[in-house]
Structure 1
């Protein structure tokens, strides 16, 4: 593990978890190198600062070895904490005990342990884990020559193992079809355009065959079936059917909430996906219902990183609904109503969510005539110079250029444009049209020209504007901030 991995892991720790780690390690490991590294990671956070400080304190020590050991100890602590709440993880831990007992030539104890695990395995739908446990039990029975079990009982146990494999196979087929559908819809159709339903008949027929087979349906298979349908309907333009499926999917999770993960990441991912789909089809009036469901996932029993992820995601979707409706004043009130910790804490738990949240907060302050606050919020994104080259990071950097243009910070503006061009130089596809339009418009210095001159200059941008509107992917970017409208406004004012 490298230093970046340790920093990422440490950033997910709550204050209580950091205190717990210090207490666990302080008693017997006082003065150890990895403890000093842990302090540096939690206090500095910057890899360069950590490396320099570590070298000064321990010039002869290996940072790589200390990093690997620290990562191992942190993972061990988090796994131990999770054992109390995660049924699947508890089964895996129990299986390690069964293996150990078998290696120690204690077959009776191994069988007893496997049966204890199987009797308590109803809290998980992981059929593969259950099968492995059942297989362990049958293997141990074979080792003791099936002592104490009749042939009829043995056949019944073997049938249980077969049923578990059937369920595992059925789930795999569900996953395979859902993944194929998702891949085909994403990569075989133009961005933002509904796909032709006839192009997916083969997958639909296979999915129907799985649903109609004799394998007993379980919450996991029902979830995959509804995910398949919701993804299909929302991407083929059947939005009413997609919406009905969303409600069914949410109802399924609420019905089976108790045996789900701790924290309920599956339910979070589903609600997040549903809201993203609703946003994609502009069904903003339907989003508040699912946003409310999402907010209810926050619970004091769950880790802090998960609760902050829920808070960030809830606020993000609330702001996106308000922005879509042009309710800029209400959006500003919503930002001010939440704790500043929602923006600052656990920023690395979901980098894309954090990126979008900071962007929308910056945009809302800009729309409320507070450009200074807008720049301040976006500064951490820009100064970080993230390796993340996602389209939304590019939007943030372009919007940052807009903010500095508005404040006439010409020296910084020139530097940032040159820096951005270097940043995008390695792209195989080159600079996108939106960015070309933005850079070209700034280079024409519209604030220095007469109205007549600007009208002439605007005509030179017409081809780029047309190209942007014809490109579905670039048109979608304009829903976040209309760069085209902003550029053209500078040539008519």
Structure 2
């Protein structure tokens, strides 16, 4: 873990994790040079490697970095140890091994029985398999004392049943991942050839469902996820919407299986809201935003993430439905919370929220505020958030410079961005089209009205199945061109 990542990790620590780190380091003896590095990373804005190496010597800095990383990760693990079922199962497995090694055989088997039952009750099948295999190993060392052949076969059969379920889940997950990558890269399908390819995946899923021997929450979840993605890809939005509600109902029915670790449900709702936005079903989004807000977690990190995603999606609803005054009121109300969110959450999520806020300010013609949020993310977190957010942010930055009439600077930034896209091999028709628009606008053409009309027609003629159109939809590019067309017409 390099020093920048280490610094970011320190900033992400919750109060409980900081307390755990303090207690852990307080129990240690000897020279604690790594604590000086901790204080430095906690308080400095820009890391000066050269001065650090002078203070520590190069080898001393490396030793302090490793020691600090080790202690931070240990403190975080200790803070989380008893917070969810999986952590307790891991601890119980270790305890069972220790007891067996110390000669407390019956106590060790009691632990393993408890692990197996807890794992089955919570559908945490990998832990059942670990405990079941360990049990058979220990029994074999004891020459299978007290176990007849029927009981041994019964134990082996249960392991095989769970293994088969896990293999089916793996196959199902693989199909879902293939479907998702096709959807994210190509959008909806139109041609017969593409639909035939999709039907092949559908047939494979049918075979998995038809042959499954164990119905679980995970298998039901995968089926509904697969079907919703399939309907999205063939353009059946009503079918997808129905499945979104079924997915949510499945999670609500099985809260005991995920309440200790709600991460998957959080990101499921985030994905549903993103898809609803792409489908322009903004009236359906508030239900899922409320479901997101209603998730409770013992983890402060997850609570921050829930708050951030709910804020982002609520603001997106306002932006996409042209409710910019409501968006401004919402931002003012959330001002203190947003300041906390842009410190305590993963950088990709921070960047997403900053972009959404910047879009609100842009449409309220508050361009200084737009640039403040864009500069904050582009200058601080460029290498820590997704390329899609980066591209959208750069384009909004360029459009803002146009609105401020900074044409010389805009021409320079366009060239810089073009070089970046070419170097990263990320050019596409849509990016090139938008850059073409901006380049022509910087030339101050005489007939601006016709120019805006031409580009609006080009955008409207684009194949709506392309997932890359999210760039235009997120930034409301078509609406921006229409606004400029109207302004030019009025002049």
- TM-score class, shorter: 0.7 to 0.9
Residue 232 of structure 1: how far off its partner (Å):
0.8
Residue 307 of structure 1: how far off its partner (Å):
0.8
Q: Which moved more, 1:423-432 or 1:459-468?
A: 459-468
**2:200 match:** 202
Asked if 2 retains the 8 angstrom alpha-carbon contact of 1:312 and 1:357, the reply is: yes
* Aligned equivalents of 1:107, 1:194: Cα separation in 2: 63
**1:22 match:** 22
* Aligned equivalents of 2:121, 2:38: Cα separation in 1: 36
Residue 199 of structure 1: how far off its partner (Å):
2.7
* Aligned equivalents of 1:364, 1:32: Cα separation in 2: 48
**2:334 match:** 338
SS in 1 for 2:91: helix
* Aligned equivalents of 1:482, 1:184: Cα separation in 2: 25
**1:450 match:** none
1:88-487 map, 5 Å? 88-102=86-100, 107-187=105-185, 190-191=186-187, 197-213=195-211, 215-260=213-258, 262-297=260-295, 299=296, 301-345=297-341, 347=343, 349-384=345-380, 386-387=382-383, 388=385, 390-409=387-406, 412-413=409-410, 416-428=413-425, 430=427, 432-444=431-443, 446=444, 454-455=446-447, 462=454, 466=458, 469-470=461-462, 472-473=466-467, 475-483=469-477, 486=480
Report the TM-score, using the length of structure 2 for normalisation: 0.87
Q: How many residues align?
A: 480
Q: Which moved more, 1:321-330 or 1:21-30?
A: 21-30
* Aligned equivalents of 2:386, 2:123: Cα separation in 1: 37
SS in 2 for 1:217: coil
Residue 291 of structure 1: how far off its partner (Å):
0.8
Asked if 2 retains the 8 angstrom alpha-carbon contact of 1:182 and 1:231, the reply is: yes
SS in 2 for 1:274: helix
Asked if 1 retains the 8 angstrom alpha-carbon contact of 2:20 and 2:76, the reply is: no
Distance 1:58 1:113, change over 3 A: same
Distance 1:291 1:68, change over 3 A: same
Asked if 2 retains the 8 angstrom alpha-carbon contact of 1:86 and 1:262, the reply is: yes
* Aligned equivalents of 1:240, 1:470: Cα separation in 2: 23
* Aligned equivalents of 1:208, 1:113: Cα separation in 2: 39
Q: Which moved more, 1:236-245 or 1:103-112?
A: 103-112
SS in 2 for 1:479: helix
* Aligned equivalents of 2:317, 2:341: Cα separation in 1: 23
Asked if 1 retains the 8 angstrom alpha-carbon contact of 2:304 and 2:341, the reply is: yes
* Aligned equivalents of 2:221, 2:320: Cα separation in 1: 30
Residue 437 of structure 1: how far off its partner (Å):
2.2
Asked if 1 retains the 8 angstrom alpha-carbon contact of 2:308 and 2:353, the reply is: yes
Q: Which moved more, 1:346-355 or 1:138-147?
A: 346-355
* Aligned equivalents of 1:207, 1:456: Cα separation in 2: 53
* Aligned equivalents of 2:86, 2:448: Cα separation in 1: 67
Cα deviation digits, residues 51-100 of structure 1 (max 9, x gap) = 35533542365333322222222222222222212212322233233344
Asked if 2 retains the 8 angstrom alpha-carbon contact of 1:101 and 1:109, the reply is: yes
SS in 1 for 2:175: helix
* Aligned equivalents of 2:273, 2:255: Cα separation in 1: 19
Distance 1:62 1:124, change over 3 A: farther
Distance 1:176 1:73, change over 3 A: same
Residue 294 of structure 1: how far off its partner (Å):
0.5
**2:2 match:** 2
* Aligned equivalents of 1:467, 1:33: Cα separation in 2: 59
Asked if 1 retains the 8 angstrom alpha-carbon contact of 2:347 and 2:381, the reply is: no
* Aligned equivalents of 1:197, 1:68: Cα separation in 2: 52
Asked if 2 retains the 8 angstrom alpha-carbon contact of 1:263 and 1:306, the reply is: no
Cα deviation digits, residues 27-55 of structure 1 (max 9, x gap) = 43575122122222222354x34x35533
Residue 438 of structure 1: how far off its partner (Å):
4.7
Residue 403 of structure 1: how far off its partner (Å):
2.3
Residue 105 of structure 1: how far off its partner (Å):
6.2
* Aligned equivalents of 1:477, 1:460: Cα separation in 2: 18
For structure 2, the residue ranges without an aligned partner over 5 or more in a row are none
Instruction: Give the RMSD, CA atoms, in angstroms.
Output: 3.1
More helix by proportion, 1 or 2? 2
* Aligned equivalents of 1:72, 1:250: Cα separation in 2: 39
SS in 1 for 2:215: coil
**1:449 match:** none
SS in 2 for 1:478: helix
* Aligned equivalents of 1:191, 1:214: Cα separation in 2: 30
* Aligned equivalents of 1:69, 1:194: Cα separation in 2: 56
Asked if 2 retains the 8 angstrom alpha-carbon contact of 1:323 and 1:331, the reply is: yes
